[in-house]
Structure 1
Amino acid sequence: MLAVVIALGFAVGGALAGPGLSAHLTAGGFVDENAAAARAADELSERLGVGAPNLVVRVSSPRGVDDPAVRARAEQIAVTLAPVLGAGSLQSYWNTDIAWLKSDDGRSGLIFGLIPGDEDQVAAVTQRIVPQLTGEQDGVDVAVTGQAAILDEVTTVSRESLIVAELIALPITLLILLFVFGSVPAAVLPVALGGLCALASIAVLRVIAYAMPVSVFALNLTTGLALGLAIDYSLLIVSRYRELVKQGHDYDTARRIALGRTRMTVAVSTATLALCLAGLLCVPLGYIRSVAVAGLVVIAVTAFLVLTVLPVLLALLGARIDALTVRRVDLAAAGPVLRRVLTLAFRRPAVVAVTVLTFLGVLLLPFFSAQFGPVDDRVLPSDAATHQTADELRRDFPRLSSDVLFLQVPGGPDRADELARALSKTQAAAAIIGPGATYSGGLAVAPGNPAQTDGTLSALAFVPPGGLDPQELLRGARDLRAAVPDDVVVTGTYSNEIDKQDAIFSRLPLILAIVVATMVPMLLLVTGSPVVAVKTVVLTALSLTASFGVMVWTFQQGHLSWLLNFTPTGSLDVTSPVLLFCLAFGLAMDYQIMLLARIREEYDRCGDTAIAVRTGVERTSKLLSAGAILVAVVFFAIGSGGTTIVKLLGIGLGVAVLVDAFVVRVTLVPAAMLLLGRWNWWAPRWLRVLHARLAGVH
């Protein structure tokens, strides 16, 4: 009963925390706060009140921006913004007369500035101030965009898309489980556990948010992970329980044996996925770390609830587990399609292996053209307000880029203006705003911003030309960083992106080493064979090729954007492949371990590799394939709406699980094991003894 009380506590906690959870999550975490650019941005904001603008206000009217009523509305907005923006950051067409702050048709003008503070402070100000600004009044329309407004809308969209995803996933999984189990109670149990674990994940996120910033994207990913794993583990236990009942055991005995035989599998599965996520903790990005920490805790809570609550529910149901039967099912028997595939793999293992490897290689090809760039407004659906406003800026202000870079310049205004003049001659810029003047092509073309210096520290605003794509802006930021003196630091979105990519790429070898170094011992525990362990790591990595190819083909190149409702930018966020690799590798390895455990069990029984492989694949195929389909349904539902980041991870994880289940596991794994023959089970004597002691009893 204690387990039931704990479960009810999680359910109540999740239900109470859910409605207000998004207010405690952050949509940021994509900046390496230890990098020089991030530290320089903080210093410029604190000392000078300037920095890359995170709020852009568009004021438009058919009467034109110079109409007195339009000017009066713009000045009123500036008065409203002044108390919440950095002291020297407020710029507008109406107080500077800078031509590129006016649209080409003369109907719109811009006001922009920096809301200072950390992510929580910026979010609080944005939520309070934006509703006061936006809307139409007396023929003057006001709309906002910029990083602060975009991240606020990301939070709202993520919360709403999670609700939609759960409404999609739960009914579909229930129907699939009804087909798999054939009885209503057996189908309802995993879905009920999944709902409980989803609520538990929300409660866990709320607790973690007290201790550290948690990304709003963790809400979608970890809730989907909890739902998918709970259904998967419940499917495993319930199927083994019903199998034992059919063998003649009474219900209590069947329940005890089923739990005894599956507890280790669930524990190993949990540890496998947790170890893959642990590699992400070495990345110095709040978004990645919060997903890793939240994922680790949610996985552990999910396994605990399944192993404690499900036995109680099985005991309460007893013989009623098979009530309301709609079809008879034998999960241990392979279907005719699988038998034909296995027959082909047994007759021509080399041909099958080469064919499948070629197929996976073709799927991977698009990934070699992968390009990475920052997250911007286009991460939101095309009908999102801040996305539409940013699109209008790109269309109506072709000379202006909203991705302004700021340079931290030690020294007074004279040095800053001289550097601005020099850079405006050599760097591609629409304008460079210094303390004394605004420069273009080496000439002073407009007044500067005196607030950009305090006598000992100065700042330059570097405005790139309009119409550049993310890769061009990224190259421009790299060129600018290379061109400035060593003591000058470039800050802003694209400078931060360079630091983010460096942080990811420099730690990739460590992440891969952690994943491999932790997976091999887990596989040795299950199989006792270093050959099988290495082979499984390689084959599992190969199963991810489709996901990486799909990621680029779909989300970078824009195929199926009309179906998935997203706007391609020609680049991907660099965090996505890393997250996708760790999550998908853990999920695929989970199923590989379940299959290999059964194959090893059969080999120990008969001593024949071919018989062990065929029997192991046939007897686990329906169960593991059903589990893969259910997990894929959950992630496809997560990927059906919301932001592009969540879409990419949801679709990518779903594809990875299905490719592993229906391509790698039923063709490549058997073919490879048949080609290796008895070498599959080679191991040094000490390892054979250790495996017999640690895992032989299972």
Structure 2
Amino acid sequence: MHHKLFSREELQWLIVLCWLAAVIMCIVYLPHAGKPFKIENSSDPSAESAIAQQIMKKEFPYSGSRVVMLYKSNSVSAYDAGFKAQVNKSLAGLKKLDFEYRIISPYENTRQISDNQRVAYAVLETDRISEDLANSMGRINTLLGEPRNLKLYLGGDAAYTADINRLSEENLLRGELIALPICLVVMIFVFSGFLAALLTILVGVINITIIITIIYLLGHQIDLTVFVLNIATMLGLGLSLDYTLIITYRFREEYPKCHDCQKTMRITLRTACKAVFFSGLIVLISIASLTFFPINILFSIGIGGIVVVLVTVLSSVTLLPALLCLFEKYVTRSNPKLKRISSEDARQHRWYQFAMLVMRYPLSFMIPTILFLLLLGYPFLNAKINISDAKILPAWTESRKVFDQFNKSFNVNDMAPINIVLQSTRNNILSKKNVGAIYDYVERLKKDSRVDRVISIVTLKPGLSKQMYQQIYSTSPLPFDEYQNKIFKSMAKGKYTVISVISKYSKDDKRNFELIDTLRFQGVGNGIVKNVGGLSAEIIDTMNIVYHLFIKVLIFISVFTYLALVWLLRSLILPLKAILMNFLSLSVCYGMLIFIFQEGHLAKLLHFQALGFTDINLPILLFFVLFGLSMDYEVFLLTRIKEFYEKTGDNAKSVAYGIERSARIITSAALVMVVVTGAFVTADIVFIKAFGLGAALAIAIDASLIRLVLVPATMGLLGNWNWYFPKWLDRILPKLNFHQ
């Protein structure tokens, strides 16, 4: 019944006008597309580290976003009167801010002055979230002014958020401007004509416009990461061009045989559109599986992926067929000069011969190829997992400069302590027994060889005994100076207090993880309960949650994909082989990510600095996105092979003919996807750059060595076992015939 939608010209125009109306309505929102997205809340809200952070934000003042103001001189000491006067004058300008804040000056805490005394930093502490404070960074920069003879840099989570937001929008536009013209040129050579190529690009632009608008509207209802726009645009453009390429190519292939648009469209809908539908279904389930993860960046891209697949598949089976019917005479034309260059017949003949050669010597092709792919994936065994920080930004951004200077001049762990939130279950946290229990607990912490120092309510005045602290907290007012009073107010309230443990090791060091495990196991005493938080604790919690869920979700999408392919291909063997091939291509992607971005190979060529780690979300994100995308080419190839097998019943000839007819289109579709994802390698944010390159590498390997070498090799080796399907299952499962 679907083909009847395109039986009359009026219906075709109605479909096109509906899509154009949707695009016109969406254009209004495009200038504001980046507004509602966030970077915060990247961890599971039910994790212990997240609970600790929630308590701190709720109970203690100024536990929200911070701005680090770093002052640097090449010649003058931070203790010099002129240096100090300029810092104080600069900080005084912040009095005009219209929200609550407090400032920790380097002259209140001398640890905020570097050992060489040339660098000092102040901290602006607020109750605001980083997205809100990021919007005030311009105002803060203006109020701070330009200190005479000093260099001022702004960093911290708010500055980091501001840089991420700005670069995300710039990288998104740059990626599209690079990808679209190159894809148009590729399409022109694939179709040997301009209009057919232009139609595919037009559908892609329409899809991207609608996808961005839907995600923008969703961003006002649910928390979505700022990265969702870049990745959704990348996926949307790539999938759209892939699907339109497959359908348009099949339409042009069948048209000379039928010389009738309606008959051609019926065949196209029964073959290519059916393959696109099943491919989209598998991609949808794979990417939608990310929504099972309570990690915001994974959940967000899962939501974005659902929007991408629904829009691209819907346009591919409605808008594109309508356009093909309306412009059939122009779409089916080929430029003779381009036709000679592309030479379809010669290419098809070579692919047929190559497939027969591979099937004649399957082990000779299969074993070296598998060993080569495993070698490329080997570096993943050295993966070092961490949470992204300012290192994913280019060195010229201001927040990255502060990050690098801080690492050089100060103890970086001072800005990333392990926070232990204590809660009294009986009375005020400052009761005599509670203070005694906390004092004993802190003394035990100090004796741990992995601990550098401890900041708590019982370390504010060094050298005091337990009894002295118990006496202090039983009197009023407290005998603290101004700085000590600031720290106390940020550490104790009602039934709560927080202890900050400064580790000797970096946040992703194995010994630091072991320290957190120890802290979580130790008791405090007197019925006091605790939650351990901080960046290191967040890494541990995120790893535990992600990889615990990963196994379950992996089994789910593997089973679903297997069942969908069993129904589509009517084989128990081919779907299993397809899934194993997917895992093989993904291992290459993972290995190359470690080799390039963690270890820094090709860093100069790709314009980034080696991270030394792999973001915890990146392997999970790439797996679920690429599992679906890689299955695209498997579906396109195997459905074509299945089509010939239904006609001939000959396994070898079906494989050879299937590759002959689909190798060119699979290579072209993969080239388009590589161009789209590869365009984002130009991104300034390393996370986006790594995702783009990882996707491009996986797709290139998948469409070449996997589909065009391993598929015919394994199918030649298995012979008729490829099509093993029990008769009882054949009777009860609805048939999906591909013959015309």
TM range (shorter): over 0.9
Q: Aligned letter for 2:495?
A: T
Q: In the alignment, residue 583 of structure 2 is paired with which amino acid?
A: A
Percentage identity across paired residues of the two chains? 25
SS of 1:375's equivalent in the other structure is: coil
Equivalent in the alignment of 2:713: 671
Q: Deviations over 1:296-348 (max 9, x none)?
A: 01210112123222233223323222265541145476457645642431221
2:150 to 119, 125, 140: 140
Of residues 173, 192, 195, the one that matches 2:183 is: 173
Residue among 28, 35, 40 paired with 1:16:
28
1:672 offset after TM fit, Å?
A: 0.9
Q: Which residue of 1 aligns with 2:446?
A: 424
In the alignment, residue 40 of structure 2 is paired with which amino acid? G
Which stretch shifts more, 577-586 or 252-261? 252-261
Note closer, same or farther for the CA distance 1:343–1:260 as it changes in structure 2 (3 Å cut).
closer
Name the residue aligned to 1:369: 382
Amino acid of the residue matched to residue 447 of structure 2? K
For residue 173 of structure 1, what is the amino acid of its counterpart?
C
Q: 1:119 to 1:55 in 2, by over 3 A?
A: closer
1:388 matches 2:426: no
The CA deviation at 1:120 is 4.3
- Judged with a 3 Å threshold, the aligned counterparts in structure 2 of structure 1 residues 398 and 664 are, in CA distance, closer, same or farther, namely same
Is the contact made by 1:333 and 1:619 (CA closer than 8 Å) also made in structure 2?
A: no
Map of 2:581 onto structure 1 = 539
Contact 2:65 2:128 in 1 (8 A): no
Mapping of residues 295-334 of structure 1, within 5 Å: 295-321=305-331, 322=333, 326-328=337-339, 329=342, 331=344, 334=347
Instruction: Report the AA paired with residue 281 of structure 1.
Output: T
Over the aligned positions, Cα root-mean-square deviation in angstroms equals: 2.8
Distance 1:390 1:118, change over 3 A: closer
Query: What are the Cα deviations for residues 495-524 of structure 1, in whole angstroms up to 9, with x where unaligned?
Result: 111111111111011111121121012101
Deviations 1:230-250 (A, max 9, x none): 111111121112112232513
Residue equivalent to 1:595: 637
Aligned partner of residue 161 in structure 2, secondary structure: helix
SS at 2:146 equivalent: strand
Separation (CA, whole Å) in 2 of partners of 1:208 and 1:149? 25
Indicate whether 1:116 and 2:138 are aligned. Answer: no
Question: How far apart in 2 are the matches of 1:137 and 1:18?
Answer: 39
Letter in 2 for 1:6: C
Decide which of 618, 639, 644 is 2:681's aligned counterpart: 639
Shift of 1:638: 1.7
If the length of structure 1 is used for normalisation, what is the TM-score?
0.92
Matched residue type, 1:594: F
Question: Residues of 1 paired with 2:390 and 2:462: CA distance?
Answer: 28
CA distance in structure 1 between the aligned counterparts of 2:72 and 2:158, rounded to whole angstroms: 21
Aligned pairs for 1:498-517 within 5 A: 498-517=540-559
- How far the C-alpha of 1:379 sits from its partner, in A, is 1.1
Aligned residue number for residue 241 of structure 1: 251
Alpha-carbon separation, structure 1, partners of 2:164 and 2:510:
23
1:43 corresponds to which of 39, 55, 64: 55
Deviation at 1:162, TM superposition (A): 0.8
Q: Which residue of 1 aligns with 2:6?
A: none
Partner Cα separation in structure 1 for residue 138 and residue 441 of structure 2: 38
1:696 Cα shift?
6.0
Residues 170-207 of structure 1 deviation map (CA, whole Å, 9 limit, x = unaligned):
11111111121111112211112112211121111112
Are the aligned partners of 1:22 and 1:216 in contact in 2 as well (CA < 8 Å)?
A: yes
- Aligned-pair CA distance for 1:215: 1.1
User: Does 2:239 correspond to 1:201?
Assistant: no
Gaps of 5+ in 1: none
Match of 2:19 in 1: 7
CA–CA separation in structure 2 for the residues paired with 1:102 and 1:494 = 25
Superposed CA deviations along residues 147-187 of structure 1, whole A, max 9, x for unmatched, are 22212211111110011111111111111111211111122
Q: Determine which of 456, 461, 465 is the counterpart of 1:434.
A: 456
Which of 505, 511, 526 is residue 568 of structure 2 equivalent to?
A: 526
Change (3 A) 1:581 1:215: same
Q: How does 1:297-696 map to 2 (within 5 A)?
A: 297-321=307-331, 322=333, 326-328=337-339, 329=342, 331=344, 334-335=347-348, 338-339=351-352, 341-398=354-411, 401-411=414-424, 412=429, 414=435, 415-438=437-460, 448=484, 449-451=487-489, 452-465=491-504, 473-483=512-522, 485=524, 487-691=529-733, 693-695=735-737
- Report the secondary structure of 2:200's partner residue: helix
C-alpha contact 1:332 1:622 (8 A) present in aligned 2: no
> Using the alignment, how far apart are the partners of 2:724 and 2:115 within structure 1?
74
> Structure 1 residues 624 and 110, CA, compared in 2 at 3 Å: closer, same or farther?
same
State yes or no: 1:190 paired with 2:200. yes
Q: Which has the higher mean CA deviation after the structures are superposed, 670-679 or 1-10?
A: 1-10
Q: Is the 8 A contact 1:428 1:465 kept in 2?
A: yes
**Residue number in structure 1 paired with 2:72:** 60
**Which residue pairs with 1:95 in the alignment?**
108
1:275 matched residue in structure 2: 285
Q: Render the CA deviation track for 1:32-52: whole Å, top value 9, x for unaligned.
A: 111122122121222122548
In structure 1, how many angstroms separate the alpha carbons of the residues matched to 2:245 and 2:535?
Answer: 45
Aligned residues: 693
Deviates more, 1:564-573 or 1:624-633: 564-573
Whether the 8 Å CA contact 1:381–1:642 is kept in 2: the answer is: yes
Task: Tell me the amino acid that sits aligned with residue 663 of structure 1.
Answer: L
Q: Shift of the alpha carbon at 1:262? A: 2.4
Q: Give, in whole Å, the separation in 2 of the partners of 1:86 and 1:458.
A: 22
Letter in 2 for 1:463: I
Give the C-alpha shift of residue 54 in structure 1: 4.0
In 2, the alpha carbon distance for the partners of 1:577 and 1:135 equals: 43
The question of whether the paired residues in 2 share the 8 Å contact of 1:332 and 1:619 is answered with no
Letter in 2 for 1:345: V
Structure 1 equivalent of residue 40 of structure 2:
28
Residues 52 and 492 in structure 1, CA contact (< 8 A), matched pair in contact too: no
Higher-Rg member (1/2):
2
Contact 2:385 2:613 in 1 (8 A): yes
State the alpha-carbon separation in 2 of the partners of residues 576 and 9 from structure 1.
37
Q: SS in structure 1 opposite 2:253?
A: helix
**Residues in 1 aligned to 2:245 and 2:178: alpha-carbon distance in whole angstroms:** 19
C-alpha spacing 1:325/1:7, structure 2 compared with 1 (3 Å)? farther
User: For residues 510 and 160 of structure 2, what CA distance do their matches in structure 1 show?
Assistant: 21
C-alpha separation in 2, matches of 1:639 and 1:246: 40
Bigger Cα displacement from structure 2, 307-316 vs 317-326: 317-326
Change over 3 Å in CA distance of 1:666–1:500 after alignment to 2: same
Return the offset for 1:479. 4.7
Q: Per the alignment, do residues 687 and 84 of structure 1 end up closer, same or farther by CA in structure 2, a change over 3 Å counting?
A: farther
Residue of structure 1 in register with 2:303 after alignment: 293
Relative to structure 1, is the Cα distance of residues 136 and 480 closer, same or farther in structure 2, using a 3 angstrom cutoff? Answer: farther
The DSSP-based 3-state class of the residue aligned with 2:580 is: helix
Structure 1 residues 199 and 427, CA gap change in structure 2 (3 angstroms):
farther
Question: What is the alpha-carbon distance in structure 2 between the residues aligned to residue 331 and residue 474 of structure 1?
Answer: 58
Q: Secondary structure at 1:58's aligned position in 2?
A: strand
Offset at 1:90?
Answer: 4.5
